[in-house]
């Protein structure tokens, strides 16, 4: 008896073949059909799973493709790689493989079941059925599968009620220990709720509030990853505000706030239809922290050096920016104050507020002053007679200040400036 009959897949109530063909590019649909046919040849079963199934119903673009196989996933991946002449990366230890096509990638994994040795631990996995594989997922809306097998292509397998929850706009966990086993699901659930315009199912929100302190069982690296994913959302302030309301943000780091001020500056950052870098959102999230608090957050979540510099520069510049609130300050002085700070930190301070004059000078630096270069370089200065060494740097700095302030404009002006300022004694 075929495996699918054991799962009650013989009479799938809903077939989404037409939806697949309407919402996904023809190339992808062709690959999925081929995956089902190849699996059928070896007596395996293949299913499209995960967020792409959810987004099919929601009409959201998603070509992040995951296929689960009851059988030899790597063997199937190798046959598809040969068939389409695409790059294959496989991990035999985990029974997973990735195929990289020109416009999309396809992850193929062996169906598996999971157990957690203790809260927050990474799960131990072993081969399982498609039912096992769906049961291990975070929320019901992510626990639907589409059959790829010939004759049943497009059949929806939904043993956990994900389609009904989606129709009702609900985010629901699959069991009462879900957040205990893996508290990162708290942050993911908030993202889904806010991104999709859904709400937590009543019992799920109760469990979340009960288990919010389980975030302390998760490593800083994993928490940082979830925060970074949140900052990559189209409107991250929605998830951050919800996380604040649920007490999640404070468990992530006590001093964080997802308030109305943050929402306002995030919207300001998107003015003109631009999509800000996640690093800018991070700097704005940390803007209201003290330097000590910001350093604590960066340490707790193990942020890399580039992000650390941007965040710490943001809160340090906040204390200096009032020096720019003068109509008489020269462009060279603006440059001198700002050029050692990370540009993202400067933009964060521009967005966060301050006096109109200070903001004007921050904008001037970002749009113009940081790009100003002298026409002469160190080689030219040495040829003019400046001693090689620190004197070259001193002369170049003075020359750049003169150019910033409009005292020199042409190459000849720069030569005369150097001769009069540094070589006149000769």
Give the mean model confidence (pLDDT) for residues 99-103: 93
Q: Which pLDDT does position 127 carry in this prediction?
A: 80
Q: Give the β-pairing of 105-110 and 64-70.
A: parallel
Q: Classify residue 301 by its DSSP letter.
A: T
- Dig out the tokens for 268 from the structure: 């300001």
Q: Is the pLDDT of residue 211 over 90?
A: yes
Instruction: Specify the pLDDT at position 215.
Output: 97
For residues 246-271, average pLDDT: 95
Whether 9 has a pLDDT exceeding 50, the answer reads no
pLDDT of amino acid 353: 83
Give residue 117's pLDDT: 67
pLDDT of res. 12: 55
- Token digits of residue 104: 């999309």
Range name among 32-46, 124-138, 190-204 with the lowest pLDDT average: 124-138
Q: What are the tokens at 52?
A: 């792409």
The first and second tokens of residue 118, run together, are 């203790």
Query: Poorest-confidence range of 113-122, 131-140, 197-206, 360-369?
Result: 113-122
Residue 423 has a pLDDT of: 87
Average pLDDT over residues 88-96: 87
Of the pLDDT bands very low, low, confident and very high (cuts 50, 70, 90), residue 10 is: very low
Token pair, residue 30, equals 């062709």
What pLDDT score does 425 carry? Answer: 58
Tokens of 275: 């999509």
Measured distance CA(181)–CA(198) in Å, rounded = 23
User: Residue 11: what pLDDT?
Assistant: 45
CATH 3.30.460.10 occupies which residues in the chain? 3-167
pLDDT 10s digits, 155-178? 999 999 999 999 999 999 999 999
Residues 6+ apart with CB under 8 A from 135: 113, 143, 160, 174
| pTM, two decimal places | 0.88
**Does the structure show a pLDDT above 50 at 424?**
yes
CA distances, 104 to each of 27, 34, 51, 193 (Å)? 10, 16, 15, 26
Residue in 136, 108, 141 with CA at minimum distance from that of residue 123: 136
Q: What are phi and psi of 9, to 5 degrees?
A: -95, 5
Strand 170-171 and strand 199-200: the pairing is parallel
Protein fold of 3-167: Beta Polymerase; domain 2 (3.30.460)
pLDDT of 220 above 50: yes
Res. 5: pLDDT tops 60: no
Whole-angstrom Cα Rg for the chain: 29
Mean pLDDT of 257-272: 95
Report percent pLDDT > 70 for the chain: 95
Confidence of residue 6 (pLDDT cuts 50, 70, 90): very low
As a whole number, the mean pLDDT across the chain is 92
Three-state DSSP at 106 gives strand
Instruction: Give the 3-state secondary structure percentages of the chain, helix then strand then coil, rounded to 5.
Output: 55, 10, 30
Q: What is the pLDDT of residue 13?
A: 59
Alpha helices in 342-410 (DSSP H): 343-352, 356-367, 378-384, 390-404
> Does residue 415 surpass a pLDDT of 90?
yes
The predicted-structure confidence for 141-156, as pLDDT tens digits, reads as follows 999 999 999 999 999 9
Is the model's pLDDT at 3 over the cut of 80?
Answer: no
């Amino acid at each position: 008896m075929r495996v699918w009959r054991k799962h009650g897949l013989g009479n799938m109530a809903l077939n989404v073949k037409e939806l697949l063909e309407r919402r996904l590019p023809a190339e992808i649909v062709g690959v999925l059909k081929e995956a089902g046919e190849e699996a059928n040849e070896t007596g395996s079963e293949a299913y499209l799973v995960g967020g792409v199934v959810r987004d099919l119903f929601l009409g959201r673009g998603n070509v992040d493709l995951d296929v689960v196989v009851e059988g030899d996933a790597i063997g199937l991946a190798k046959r598809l790689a040969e068939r389409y002449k695409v790059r294959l990366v496989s991990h035999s230890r985990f029974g997973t493989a990735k195929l990289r096509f020109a416009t999309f990638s396809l992850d193929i994994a062996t169906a598996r079941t999971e157990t957690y040795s203790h809260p927050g631990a990474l799960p131990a996995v072993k081969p399982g059925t498609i039912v096992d594989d769906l049961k291990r997922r975070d929320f019901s809306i992510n626990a639907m599968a589409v059959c790829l097998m010939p004759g049943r292509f497009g059949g929806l397998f939904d043993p956990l009620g994900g389609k009904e929850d989606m129709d009702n706009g609900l985010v629901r966990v699959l069991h009462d220990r879900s957040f205990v086993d893996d508290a990162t699901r708290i942050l993911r659930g908030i993202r889904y709720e806010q991104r999709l315009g859904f709400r937590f199912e009543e019992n799920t929100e109760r469990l979340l509030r009960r288990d919010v302190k389980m975030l302390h069982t998760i490593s800083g690296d994993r928490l940082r990853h979830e925060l970074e994913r949140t900052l990559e959302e189209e409107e991250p302030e929605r998830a951050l505000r919800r996380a604040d309301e649920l007490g999640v943000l404070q468990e992530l780091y006590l001093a964080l706030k997802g308030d109305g001020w943050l929402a306002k500056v995030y919207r300001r950052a998107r003015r003109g239809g631009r999509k800000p870098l996640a690093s800018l959102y991070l700097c704005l999230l940390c803007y209201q922290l003290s330097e000590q608090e910001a350093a604590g957050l960066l340490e707790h979540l193990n942020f890399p050096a580039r992000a650390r510099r941007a965040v710490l520069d943001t809160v340090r510049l906040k204390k200096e920016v009032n020096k720019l609130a003068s109509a008489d300050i020269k462009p060279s002085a603006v440059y001198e104050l700002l050029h050692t700070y990370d540009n993202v930190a400067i933009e964060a301070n521009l967005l966060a507020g301050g006096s109109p004059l200070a903001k004007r000078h921050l904008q001037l630096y970002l749009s113009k002053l940081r790009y100003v270069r002298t026409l002469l370089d160190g080689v030219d200065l040495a040829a003019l007679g400046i001693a090689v060494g620190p004197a070259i740097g001193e002369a170049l700095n003075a020359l750049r200040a003169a150019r910033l302030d409009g005292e020199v404009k042409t190459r000849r002006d720069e030569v005369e400036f150097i001769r009069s300022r540094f070589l006149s004694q000769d």
